[in-house]
A and B are shown apart, each in its own frame.
Chain A
Amino acid sequence: MKLHKLHKNVLPGFAPTIGFTIFYLSLIVLIPLSALVFRTSTLGWNEFIAIVTEPRVVASYRVTFGAAIVAASVNAIFGVLLAWVLVRYTFPGRKIVDALVDLPFALPTAVAGITLATIYSPSGWVGRYLEPLGIKAAFTPLGITLAMIFIGLPFVVRTVQPVMEDIEVELEEAAACLGATRFQTLSRVIFPALLPSILTGFALAFARGVGEYGSIIFIAGNMPMVSEITPLLIITKLEQFDYPGATAIALVMLLASFFMLLVINLLQKWSRRYAE
């Protein structure tokens, strides 16, 4: 133990690096974020509650969180399928598809936004086939969901994929030797091992969808009460110089993302325990 302690102190530079880390973190992230909390605290409690429970604001929560849940669910299903196909099967173009999964991380949100709005507009590449079916995608909550599916997909695939790669084939062989059918092996052996990572991916995609702005506003139509997302409402209030309104709603969003961060951390702890 003593030796271990001596051992540790050999590397130099802890004090300056941790000092700079905390200084830069405070300057760029912590102090600016605390400004939001302090600015809201100058509002009275009743005033704060009145702002964040206005019908138009509540409608925006419903649109934002509702679309994010649907999008994250779609991503959980297709993301797991995609990860499975990429890990377990071989087919031509697999490596390209694998690299392309990260496109939503790399493509600027405004580019994704105008492109999705164009594709799903009534005369667009996909929209023209939806129109005769009576499905309106652009400028409706469906469009918001589609944009959230686009930006959330890599979160599920990239969270589930490494866990899938680590599953030991011996487990499956053991299950099969003990007489399990393939379906039983998948549902009783593989699925439980993947579940924590699927939930983590779902939570990450959901959190990203809730905060997303750029890829959504072009396709959303932004009609108050119908297809107006909360981040847009913050900007609208800001443009009307309604600072108390903007900060109060932003604080609600911030608290929601802190809560999601907590859930994600707990899920990751759970999946790590599962891995051991």
Chain B
Amino acid sequence: MRNNIGTGRLQTEPALVRWFMIAVALVFVGLFLMLPLAAVFSQAFEKGVSVYLESITDADTLSSIKLTLIAAAIAVPLNLVFGVTAAWAIAKFTFPGKNLLITLVDLPFSVSPVISGLIYVLIFGLQGWLGPWLYAHDIEIIFAVPGIVLATIFVTFPFIARELIPLMEAQGKEEEEAALVLGASGLQTFFRVTLPNVKWGIIYGVILCNARAMGEFGAVSVVSGHIRGMTNTMPLHVEILYNEYNYAAAFAVASLLAFLALVTLAVKTIAEWNMQRQFKDN
């Protein structure tokens, strides 16, 4: 009872319990998050810097980096346009079936990556719906770059939309209405009022979308055909090197992806701070 009089004490646990819980949480984080992260870089440099540099400048590695960049450079802008368009329609208007539409936009997140690849094989593969026609016209989609791009678009589909919809909903429509009343055109209103307001939300969505686009493995693995130097993205190249027991090279390429993950986390954290600050200012 004595503890309840006074202040701080009743809202928290005894110091001993507190430190114990912090210790358990930190050990868990250390074991499950920090250790793997440290292991990637340690393994990458285990055979020395020269082996590392050799591995990441190898011709097959470079072509896998190029393909990964191409896939992300197509998938991210497309999903950005979609995300902004969908957020405008869903957040600024009321219409029947809105909740269903939001669920459908989120759908690719709940589908196994393997299935995300499989569905495109079923449509464009040789035994698929359009397969024979594509074969007759000499168009390659599955086991080629277009399939990889399609699978990447699918798995990164919801990222930007699902970030922008709640943000635009929270900001309401008053500012846009004011702009329109003052004589701005629809596009002017969008570019001068809406876009600056959701700037950090877009950056947040784009960086996460990009991380997944460059890192996707399962879906891309199904449609790629694993042709070395041709249809291998960086994650697929990591798999091949690892399965060939070329661990140093596998971890060298993996370290590039891990570095991308760290940059992603940093940008994401900065975007979150800015969104919170912007939210407080309004």
Residues in chain A within 8 A of chain B (CB atoms): 7-8, 10-14, 17-18, 20-22, 24-25, 28-33, 35-36, 39, 78, 81-82, 84-86, 88-89, 91, 97, 99-116, 118-119, 125-126, 149-150, 153, 169, 172-173, 176-177, 179, 182, 207, 210-214, 218, 231-232, 234-235, 238, 241, 243, 246-247, 250, 253-254, 257-258, 260-261, 265
Contact = CB atoms under 8 A, between A and B. Distances in A.
Interface in B245-269: 247, 250-251, 254, 257-258, 260-262, 264-266, 268-269
Q: Is the interface of A mostly helix, strand, loop or mixed?
A: helix
A234 B250 CA distance: 25
Contact of B269 (A99, A109, A126, A257): A99
Contacts, number: 273
Nearest to B24: A81
B54 interface: no
B107 to A, nearest CB: 6
Contacts of A11: 92-93, 173, 176-177, 180, 186
B111 A33 contact: yes
Interface in B86-142: 86, 88-90, 92-95, 101, 103-108, 110-115, 118-123, 127-129
Contact of B101 (A21, A105, A149): A21
Contacts of A173: 10-11
Contact of A115 (B40, B107, B211): B40
Contact of A150 (B32, B157, B186): B32
A25 B108 CA distance: 10
B105 to A, nearest CB: 7
A100 B29 contact: yes
B21 A234 contact: no
Interface of B: 1, 3-4, 10-13, 18, 21-22, 24-26, 28-29, 31-37, 39-40, 43, 82, 85-86, 88-90, 92-95, 101, 103-108, 110-115, 118-123, 127-129, 150, 153-154, 157, 173, 176-177, 180-181, 186, 190, 208, 211, 214-218, 221-222, 234-236, 238-239, 242, 247, 250-251, 254, 257-258, 260-262, 264-266, 268-269
A83 to B, nearest CB: 9
Given A36-B115, A231-B114, A234-B115, A100 B10 contact: no
Contacts of A254: 111-112, 115
B265 A211 contact: no
A88 B28 CA distance: 18
A12 B86 CA distance: 14
A100 B108 CA distance: 25
